[in-house]
Structure 1
């Protein structure tokens, strides 16, 4: 019951089982309605969120959405702004390598992402009483990978966009699937197969599982290694693409 919206339909189906499951087998006086009581009883024990408090599911998910919105867009706009203002020409005249440029541009935003993460977790615990179940090692690794991956994606967008308007449009194009297909707004397993396939490619999907698993379930590092491996693969692929797309000239 970590996700109340996902378990609502399942709980409703279980509640209907006692009167409907044996309706074709129990006839006449044995019919459940005729006896006034169902032939068996289903007792549901909710784990992790027994009161079905929606904030326990929504607030941790906001961490991934907010980091994506700010880090991807800020990085894409900051690099594209330098191209528009002409300051990128001075940078290209220096003997720095693409990886050095990327590290120099992204390092300040890593600190911004860490401050945002700490602030959101503090507000989640103080204002919404979100349980902090533990799993801090895996959560720290997930936050670090997600921040670096989001910044690398913003840098990749800046290598493609020719203006700040294009960079913003590309960032929004990435944000919409991140919100709709990651399991943040809708239960992931309730989506069509094609939507789940697309959602598996989006890093926010795996990051939400890491955050919710750590805070609500207290999952340890071995319990979330698949999601961390997916985030690491995203970082490596996007970084490689950004390095390949990095232009040494403005033409």
Structure 2
């Protein structure tokens, strides 16, 4: 009897898959979290420090009354902004060098890509954050307001940039906001260069987004500074 039903029942038995699919990670095969977090710390640290340095520097001059002397000098708003930004760009490069050294020697983060290309992109990212700090200084009346504005910009940058949560796992509206933030694009660039060895072709879309943000914020800050001249 068993033999009679062996044929029809055999057709209902599940058959093995014709292909055995095994997925291997191309990057970070071991799933080490430090390889994803440590490069992102460069952008997080620079976002926090660069904005607050510039915002406090300009607001402090307003509180002490030295801004009046600065406004009476025959300098253009762009020259004032450039003079305030350039020293902190050097500070930003020093901070990046310290983080990269710690990433390489302490956490064994691979430096696959070009550090020269990373340094080139770093200039625009630092300048974008400094421009944000310069804009906050034209809005704040005192240093406390400048710090509060910095925090209101810093917290969304951490939460919506893909540093703490996977970017594609966030709601669509959160991704739209994240695409505006410079930290989002810098995280993609720095992780792509260090971990994947990306070149200019791969990072070009995010670099253009950084340049667009830098241009827009610079225009706003210069217009705000001209209003203070009146």
Give the structure-1-normalised TM-score: 0.83
Q: Deviations over 1:130-158 (max 9, x none)?
A: 00011334322221110011111100110
Q: Do the aligned residues in 2 keep the contact of 1:135 with 1:221 (CA within 8 Å)?
A: no
Q: Distance in 1 between matches of 2:120 and 2:145?
A: 32
Out of 196, 210, 214, the position equivalent to 2:193 is: 214
Query: Does residue 1:140 correspond to 2:119, yes or no?
Result: yes
Q: Distance in 1 between matches of 2:188 and 2:229?
A: 40
Alignment of 1:1-251 (within 5 A): 30-31=13-14, 41-247=20-226, 249=228
Unaligned runs of 5+ in 1: 1-26
Q: Distance in 1 between matches of 2:129 and 2:68?
A: 25
How many equivalent residue pairs?
A: 221
What displacement does 1:248 show? 6.0
What displacement does 1:39 show? 7.3
Q: Do the aligned residues in 2 keep the contact of 1:60 with 1:212 (CA within 8 Å)?
A: yes
Unaligned runs of 5+ in 2: 1-9
What displacement does 1:30 show? 1.9
What displacement does 1:190 show? 0.6
Q: Distance in 2 between matches of 1:247 and 1:66?
A: 30
Q: Distance in 2 between matches of 1:66 and 1:177?
A: 14
Match of 2:7 in 1: none
Q: Distance in 2 between matches of 1:227 and 1:140?
A: 15
Match of 1:19 in 2: none
Name the SS of the counterpart of 1:76 in structure 2.
helix
Q: Distance in 1 between matches of 2:184 and 2:29?
A: 24
Instruction: Identify the range of structure 1 (165-174 vs 136-145) with the bigger mean alpha-carbon deviation.
Output: 136-145
Q: Do the aligned residues in 2 keep the contact of 1:200 with 1:206 (CA within 8 Å)?
A: yes
Q: Structure 2 vs 1, CA of residues 98 and 250 (structure 1 numbering), >3 Å: closer, same or farther?
A: closer
Q: Structure 2 vs 1, CA of residues 80 and 250 (structure 1 numbering), >3 Å: closer, same or farther?
A: farther
Q: Distance in 2 between matches of 1:133 and 1:126?
A: 15
What displacement does 1:48 show? 1.5
Match of 1:15 in 2: none
Name the SS of the counterpart of 2:112 in structure 1.
coil
Q: Distance in 2 between matches of 1:28 and 1:98?
A: 81
What displacement does 1:41 show? 3.2
